[in-house]
């Protein structure tokens, strides 16, 4: 029986790269997003083309009822869940200096990027514990997709940085709590990845990359992140719960 993974925000950008890599690794997929089914049909077809059975659920993870309905849909279709990839995230609608940023923007970004995945993990973790207790051979895993912004300050999008720093701590908390059940929790921390989320600042980042911002002088891709998640999904790092896996081309390496 194939393992099942839930990838939030799994129909575009990094999430789609993760979904495709997991499909090639042998997982069936549940993808959730906020777009209508017709709008994600091509993405679903791409993942199915990688060999996976795919269920798409339209759900805003910032909403408690939507999170509940999402998990109920997974249970109804597959009756099991082995991996949760908390990938869904949003940037501020407007990049604003923290001296002028609004509480409304702060609440919106943290609702999707931090509160949503934190409580989705709570629900999934309890279900994974039940599955483990029912079957000692059950294998479960949680992967949080954060960002170099968890550690690199950008004063024109403070709410985003704070949300990702929170995800980093949430990873440690859930790793510590789920250790006794043999459920590892990891953080994958992407750097500058070419997606629709970075399209508005593509010229800026291309210039910085050409000037040596990273050790590897290129944009990262969703496939780069997907390959990291797939390695975790295969159990390649079975003694590394709570660890951070950098996918940033060496951006975080301090150099003189």
- Give me 77's structure tokens: 């279709």
* Angstrom distance (rounded) from CA 205 to CA 192: 8
* Angstrom distance (rounded) from CA 172 to CA 237: 16
- What are the start-end ranges of the E strands in the chain? 4-8, 28-33, 54-58, 83-86, 141-145, 185-190, 244-247
Look up the CATH architecture of domain 4-243.
3-Layer(aba) Sandwich (3.40)
pLDDT digits (tens, 9 = 90+) for 177-203: 999 999 999 999 999 999 988 888 899
Is the model's pLDDT at 38 over the cut of 90?
Answer: yes
* Angstrom distance (rounded) from CA 66 to CA 80: 19
- What's the chain's average pLDDT? 97
Task: Read off the pLDDT band of 157 (50, 70, 90).
Answer: very high
Nearest 10 degrees: Cα torsion 59, 167, 184, 9: 30
Cα–Cα nearest to 6, from 20, 17, 19: 19
Residue 83 DSSP SS3: strand
pLDDT above 90 as % of the chain:
97
pLDDT of residue 200: 84
Is the model's pLDDT at 229 over the cut of 90?
Answer: yes
- What are the start-end ranges of the E strands in 129-243? 141-145, 185-190
Q: What is the mean pLDDT of the segment spanning 198-217?
A: 93
DSSP helix, strand, coil percent of the chain (3-state; round to 5): 50, 15, 40
């Amino acid at each position: 029986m194939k393992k099942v993974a839930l990838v939030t925000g799994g129909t575009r950008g990094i999430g789609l790269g993760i979904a495709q890599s997991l499909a090639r690794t042998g997982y069936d997929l549940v993808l959730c997003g906020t777009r209508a089914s017709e709008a994600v049909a091509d993405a679903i077809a791409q993942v199915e083309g990688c060999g996976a059975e795919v269920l798409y659920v339209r759900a805003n993870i910032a909403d408690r009822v939507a999170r509940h309905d999402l998990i109920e849909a997974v249970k109804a279709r597959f009756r099991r869940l082995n991996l949760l990839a908390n990938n869904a995230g949003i940037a501020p609608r407007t990049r604003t200096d923290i001296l002028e940023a609004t509480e409304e923007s702060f609440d919106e970004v943290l609702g999707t990027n931090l509160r949503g995945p934190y409580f989705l993990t709570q629900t999934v973790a309890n279900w994974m514990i039940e599955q483990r207790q029912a079957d000692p051979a059950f294998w479960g895993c949680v992967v949080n997709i954060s960002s170099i912004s968890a550690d690199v300050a950008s004063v024109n999008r403070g709410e985003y940085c704070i949300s990702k720093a929170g995800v980093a701590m949430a990873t440690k908390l859930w790793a510590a709590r789920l250790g006794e059940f043999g459920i590892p929790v990891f953080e994958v921390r992407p750097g500058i990845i070419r997606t629709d989320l970075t399209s508005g600042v593509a010229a800026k980042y291309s210039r910085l990359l050409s000037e040596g911002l990273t050790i590897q002088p290129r944009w990262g891709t969703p496939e780069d992140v997907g390959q990291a998640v797939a390695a975790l999904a295969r159990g390649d790092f079975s003694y590394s719960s709570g660890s951070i896996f950098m996918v940033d081309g060496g951006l975080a390496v301090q150099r003189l």
